[in-house]
Amino acid sequence: MSWHVLTFAISHLLAVLSSVAADDSAAIRQAEQDRIDMIERASRSVVSILAPDESGGGSGVIITPDGYGVTNFHVIMGMARTRRGLGGLSDGKTYPLEVLGIDPTGDLAMFRLTGRDRFDAAPLGDSDHVRVGDAVVALGNPFMLAEDYTPTATFGMVSGVHRYQYGADTRSLVYTDCLQIDASINPGNSGGPLFDMQGRLIGINGRASFLERDRLRQRVNVGVAYAISINQVKRFLPALKEGWLVEHGTLGATVRDTPDGVRFDNVLAGSAADRIGIELGDELIAFDGRPIADANAFGNILGVYPAGWPVTVTYRKDGTEVHRQVALDPLPLTREIPWPKADPGWIRAVATGRQPTTLPYDVTDLVRTTRWPSPPDPAGSVSPDKTAPVRSHLAGLLSPVVKIYGGRIAGEEAYATGVLVSAGGEIVTALALLLEASTLRVVTADGTVHRARVIYRDERRQLALLELQRKESTVFSPVILDESIAPAAGDGVYVVGNPFKIADSSEPCSITHGVLSGRILLDARRPGGGPPAAYRGEVWIMDAMSSQPGAPGSAVFDTQGRFIGLVGEVLESRLTNTLLNYAYPVEQVAAFLREARTPADASGSTAAVSEAPSAPGYHGIRLARFGYLQKLPFVGSVATDSPAARAGIQQGDLIISIDGRAVTNARTFEEAFNGLYAGTEVSVVVKRGNELVTIRLTLEEAPK
């Protein structure tokens, strides 16, 4: 090839690459603009709900141009007597608001705004198409921040679907088959809308999981929130629009898990179940087209239907599969509310098309028995952020993550997460008191329950290695520990775990997303001013929420699906007193495994439970003794052949900080090294003359 041809080829390649980069940049800018435009349009339908004196605070969303909207029941409870309030819109004005129908069990209510000929309304989506990994936007007025009623937008991802959240009691404020999101939801967001990236309403935000910080008397948002699915809302809208109190439906029967499937163990005489021939011992196979894998799944899906709604029940009797349709019975409230109750017969007539309504969707479209699993996204509905490939990618991250259940000791939670690290059933998790239980249960991603035992403890890293008791033929799908992976600050991550024990029974774990914020030497303590953390090595700091009960032991993956870290125990920064979202880097997990798998003696046998060496760290620095505790921490001497001497610390140096923590006197100097073990690398900043010098030294075992 001649020089001119080579020059032309290189020039052409650079031009192509420049064009591709320009195209990508333009696509990113366009996607950003599309998102901004969507939020601006959607914001016009969001309502700040206020009492007549403009007190209180909650959110809602308008769904019809003539002013009908939905919110949470708990938002309008204070208006139950007068049924009057105000609704603030993004135009800065308030409008008269009338409360219509209520659903106290499912935490729903309908209202109507007046005062304008036409209102901007949110189009209704289809929550049966929502998948883990879908991008979402939550809108509302948290903390009543916007005095002009312009809603706050929080961006996030669907972390789980088909979730169940218990209410104040079994028939009040219960969230069944709801959507779990990692977008921030705070007081004031309740009743506000959850939108997909096309601006379609897919849920009503209402609840969030919080950490209670008794010491600070506050609740800490940890990025776990829940939205009532819009398809549940649709089933209740006809009766809510009529101004009724809508009761939820029931079969009048209960089920339990058995080795032979989900079996009916109680059937009330004259109930819906009795009317279609269900008897004790019959096996429940599907409910309204959804396969029932366990008793928990049945209770979850049953809760999304109002009394009177027609459903198809599939059950097995004496080996024969039976399909029967029946209208659900009312599930009465535990306390009476002075509100006219909906007629279940009227609801059945609406659902079957015999009673017309003026709602912005086809009610009969929801009366099907083939909606599970959901069909793929229809043509032309692919999001601008192209989340469909992401959803498929995320499903593969669930298989190596397990749920761990043990003993509740000294008030600590009895559940956690773990990561499979071998095909034979080895699991790495965070060291915790729950592992002291006589029996450990582990639920793998396929829903199978296994017994497990602890075979190695690392007190320094606060990690533990578990081993599943399994059949020899059972093979698991572990993560790959690739220490050559070099993530960087700003890289996207997914955290897979079971915070708050949200994923009950065989449900899949939760997935949250974020970015790596940076890599630091851990300087932390247990929450509430507890003792310093034993581990003082390097960790990744993330903005993905992981400081939650049940989250320790969660897996951290990069956006390519590679395992890059493991979430540690819940800790708070000693510098800022805030909870830390952090993870052990993959090389620390790999080093832990190498130590755990090293034979304890020459014969190759390993003790049932071993412990990693945890000798206190030695540095060799002695501070000047004059005014020892109160005066500035000058180096008085450095021991010969000590870590400090080899690192270059000199007599007369003034210690400024250790691992980023300010050192002002001898006491803070000692506290900075307290709990550090041999092998820990420490960054020391000293003032030498007029210069600041950063010195890194590795602690060792103290000489004998």
Q: How far apart are the first and last CA of the chain?
A: 70
Q: In which band, very low, low, confident or very high, does the pLDDT at 571 lie, cut at 50, 70 and 90?
A: very high
Rounded Cα gap, residues 284 and 645, in angstroms: 73
Q: 621-698 in CATH: which number?
A: 2.30.42.10
Residue 10 pLDDT: 61
Which residues lie below 8 Å from residue 350, measured CB to CB, with a gap of 6+?
238, 239, 357, 363
CA distances from 642 to 537, 653, 670, 687 (A): 20, 16, 17, 20
pLDDT tens digits, 512-522? 999 999 998 88
Give me 215's structure tokens.
């010491």
Residue pair 383/196 in contact by the 8 Å Cβ criterion: yes
452 closest CA partner among 475, 486, 473, 428: 428
Within 303-422, residue ranges assigned H as helices are 344-351, 387-395
Per-residue pLDDT, averaged over 122-141, amounts to 92
Residue 386 pLDDT: 46
Rounded Cα gap, residues 573 and 279, in angstroms: 58
Residue 372 pLDDT: 41
Q: Is the pLDDT of residue 1 over 70?
A: no
Q: Is the pLDDT of residue 378 over 50?
A: no
Among 3.20.20.70, 2.30.42.10, 3.30.210.10, 3.30.230.10, name the CATH number for the domain at 248-331+343-366: 2.30.42.10
pLDDT tens digits, 247-259? 999 999 999 999 8
Which residues lie below 8 Å from residue 277, measured CB to CB, with a gap of 6+?
317, 322, 324
Q: Which position has the token pair 């970015």?
A: 515
Residue 626 pLDDT: 62
- Tell me if residue 107 is catalytic: yes
Q: In which band, very low, low, confident or very high, does the pLDDT at 592 lie, cut at 50, 70 and 90?
A: very high
* DSSP, res 653: P
pLDDT tens digits, 414-456? 899 999 999 999 999 999 988 988 789 999 998 889 999 999 9
Rounded Cα gap, residues 246 and 347, in angstroms: 10
154 closest CA partner among 46, 74, 232: 46
pLDDT tens digits, 678-690? 888 888 999 998 8
Q: Rounded to an integer, what is the distance from CA 563 to the centroid of its chain?
A: 18
As to burial, measured by CB atoms within 10 angstroms (0-12 exposed, 13-18 middle, 19+ buried), residue 37 is exposed
Residue type, 123: P
Give me 324's structure tokens.
């029967």
Residue 147 pLDDT: 79
Per-residue pLDDT, averaged over 181-187, amounts to 89
Which residues lie below 8 Å from residue 160, measured CB to CB, with a gap of 6+?
132, 179, 180, 502, 503, 507, 508, 509, 510, 511
Options 103, 107, 196, 458, the catalytic residue: 107
Q: What radius of gyration, in Å, describes the C-alpha atoms of the chain?
A: 30
Per-residue 3-state assignment (H helix, E strand, C coil) for 434-477: HHHCCCEEEECCCCCEEEEEEEEEECCCCEEEEEEECCCCCCCC
Residue 377 pLDDT: 39
Residue 12 has a CB neighbour count (10 Å cut-off) of 10
* DSSP, res 629: T
Residue 629 has a CB neighbour count (10 Å cut-off) of 10
Residue 630 pLDDT: 59
How many residues are present in the chain? 704
Options 45, 159, 190, 554, the catalytic residue: 190
Rounded Cα gap, residues 234 and 246, in angstroms: 13
Q: 46-240 in CATH: which number?
A: 2.40.10.120
Question: Residue 103: helix, strand or coil by DSSP?
Answer: strand
Rounded Cα gap, residues 305 and 294, in angstroms: 19
Give me 73's structure tokens.
């029941």
- Report the predicted TM-score, pTM, of the whole model to 2 decimal places: 0.79
Average pLDDT of the chain, as a whole number: 86
Rounded Cα gap, residues 520 and 516, in angstroms: 11
Q: Is the pLDDT of residue 625 over 90?
A: no
- Tell me if residue 294 is catalytic: no
- Look at 318 and 627; give whichever has higher pLDDT: 318
CA distances from 703 to 380, 650, 674, 680 (A): 71, 20, 18, 16
Which residues lie below 8 Å from residue 344, measured CB to CB, with a gap of 6+?
247, 249, 306, 307, 308, 327, 328, 329, 330
Q: At 162, which helix (H) or strand (E)?
A: strand 152-165
388-612: CATH topology: Thrombin, subunit H (2.40.10)
Per-residue 3-state assignment (H helix, E strand, C coil) for 344-364: HHHHHHHHCCCCCCCCCCCHH
- Tell me if residue 365 is catalytic: no
Rounded Cα gap, residues 272 and 347, in angstroms: 16
pLDDT tens digits, 144-179? 777 788 999 999 999 999 998 888 777 788 899 999
pLDDT tens digits, 321-358? 999 999 999 998 888 888 999 999 999 999 988 888 88
Options 48, 59, 74, 546, the catalytic residue: 74
CA distances from 445 to 396, 448, 495 (A): 10, 7, 15
Q: In which band, very low, low, confident or very high, does the pLDDT at 220 lie, cut at 50, 70 and 90?
A: low
- Segments making up each domain of the chain, as ranges: 1-43, 46-240, 248-331+343-366, 388-612, 621-698
Residue pair 144/406 in contact by the 8 Å Cβ criterion: no
Residue 552 pLDDT: 95
Q: Is the dihedral of CA 262, 267, 272, 276 positive or negative?
A: positive
Residue pair 303/176 in contact by the 8 Å Cβ criterion: yes
Q: In which band, very low, low, confident or very high, does the pLDDT at 216 lie, cut at 50, 70 and 90?
A: very low
Residue type, 181: I
Per-residue pLDDT, averaged over 598-620, amounts to 62
Q: Is the pLDDT of residue 611 over 60?
A: no
Q: Is the pLDDT of residue 387 over 70?
A: no
Domains 46-240 and 621-698 share a fold: no
pLDDT tens digits, 33-79? 888 899 999 999 999 999 888 877 799 999 999 999 999 999 998 88
Lowest mean pLDDT among 83-87, 136-140, 606-610: 606-610
Largest Cα separation within the chain, whole Å, is 93
Residue 222 pLDDT: 76
* DSSP, res 529: T
Q: Is the pLDDT of residue 361 over 80?
A: no
Q: In which band, very low, low, confident or very high, does the pLDDT at 143 lie, cut at 50, 70 and 90?
A: confident
Rounded Cα gap, residues 39 and 26, in angstroms: 20
221 closest CA partner among 417, 512, 429: 512
Give me 81's structure tokens.
């007597």
Residue 376 pLDDT: 38
Residue 370 pLDDT: 42
Q: Which position has the token pair 């109190």?
A: 245
CA distances from 492 to 71, 440, 541, 605 (A): 34, 33, 12, 41
Residue 95 pLDDT: 95
Residue 369 pLDDT: 42
CA distances from 323 to 87, 254, 276, 373 (A): 46, 18, 9, 18
Q: How does DSSP assign 66-104, residue by residue?
A: TSEEEE-HHHHGGGTTT-EEEEE-TTS-EEEEEEEEEET
Per-residue pLDDT, averaged over 462-470, amounts to 92
Residue pair 436/493 in contact by the 8 Å Cβ criterion: no
